[in-house]
Amino acid sequence: MVIYLVRHGETEWNLQGKLQGREDIPLNKTGIWQAKVCGNALQNTKFHCIQTSPLQRAMETAEIIAFHQNCRVIVNPDLIERDYGNLSGLSPQERQEFVRQGGPDGVEPWEILEKRVIRAINKLADACPESTIAVVSHGAWINALLAVVSGHEIGSGKTQLKNACISMLYQEKNKWKIGFYNLTGEDIKNGIPERI
Kindly name the residue from 8, 10, 48, 108 that is annotated as catalytic: 8
Report the chain's terminal Cα–Cα distance, integer Å: 17
| Residues 150, 126: Cα–Cα separation, whole Å | 21
CA geometry: angle at 128 spanning 49 and 180, to 5°?
Answer: 70
Estimate to the nearest angstrom the gap between the alpha carbon of 58 and the chain centroid. Answer: 8
Asked if residue 169 lies in contact with residue 149, where contact means CB atoms within 8 angstroms, the answer is yes
Estimate to the nearest angstrom the gap between the alpha carbon of 78 and the chain centroid. Answer: 12
Listed in sequence order, the residues at least 6 apart from 77 whose beta carbon sits closer than 8 Å to its beta carbon are: 53, 54
Is 60 marked active-site?
A: no
Is 152 marked active-site?
A: no
Helix axes 29-41, 56-66, angle to 10 degrees: 40
Kindly name the residue from 60, 81, 108, 138 that is annotated as catalytic: 81
Beta strand 132-137 with 2-7 is: parallel
Q: Residues with catalytic annotation?
A: 8, 81
